[in-house]
Amino acid sequence: MSRSNRERTEQTRQALIDAGRRIFVEKGYAETATPEIVAAAGVTRGALYHHFEDKKALFQAVIKCEAQDVAKAIEASSAPKQGPRAALIAGASAYFAAMGQPGRTQLLLMEAPAVLGLPAAAALDAENAEKSLREGLAAFLPEAGALLDPLTSLLSAAFDRAAIAIDAGGDRRDYERAIAVLLDGLADHLRR
């Protein structure tokens, strides 16, 4: 495939993902029809089915892009030179900021588990934001040992609930402070 064909192929795929995201946010997965997506993307139904098996496969691609964007935002803000605690706090702030992208909380935390199933949505999170959290916790709490995985899972759930609350109008600064209190409390407890 020539470079221009590859570029056109990737442009078509990205146009479908972008259009799908807009419409999934606007109408929800269940109410979104593929003809709307192809019209918004300016492509044919054939192009949709060339790139994606079905609407669910397109939705999964949208979710994967969203999860990767959140992870990139976290990674960009939590440089190791800050020290482990500061990196975790910066990562928390970046997570909440990234989840503030309109529609992202709805897509990642409400629609993805319902449409893809909880195991598939959790696997995408484990490869992205939760992976960053685990690495940050391992650096901050080397004493965690066998508790690292359960702590990561529990804190990830806390982050998700906080993102939902912030999306519903909660004060982000309050949740950032609460995360800091949780992290400091864990550190105090594990270091005794």
Three-class secondary structure of residue 101 per DSSP: coil
Neighbouring C-beta atoms of residue 35, cutoff 10 Å = 10
Residue 192 or residue 53, greater confidence: 53
What is the model's pLDDT at position 3? 64
Burial class (CB in 10 A: 0-12, 13-18, 19+), 148: middle
pTM of the predicted model, to two decimals?
Answer: 0.92
Residues 80-130: pLDDT tens digits? 677 999 999 999 999 999 999 999 999 999 999 999 999 999 999 999 999
Q: What is the pLDDT of residues 45-55, one digit of tens each?
A: 999 999 999 99
Rg, Å, the chain Cα set: 19
Calpha distance 149→143 (Å, rounded): 12
Q: Is the pLDDT of residue 63 over 80?
A: yes
Provide the pLDDT confidence category of residue 179 given band limits of 50, 70 and 90. very high
Q: What is the pLDDT of residue 2?
A: 59
Q: pLDDT band for position 188 (50/70/90)?
A: very high
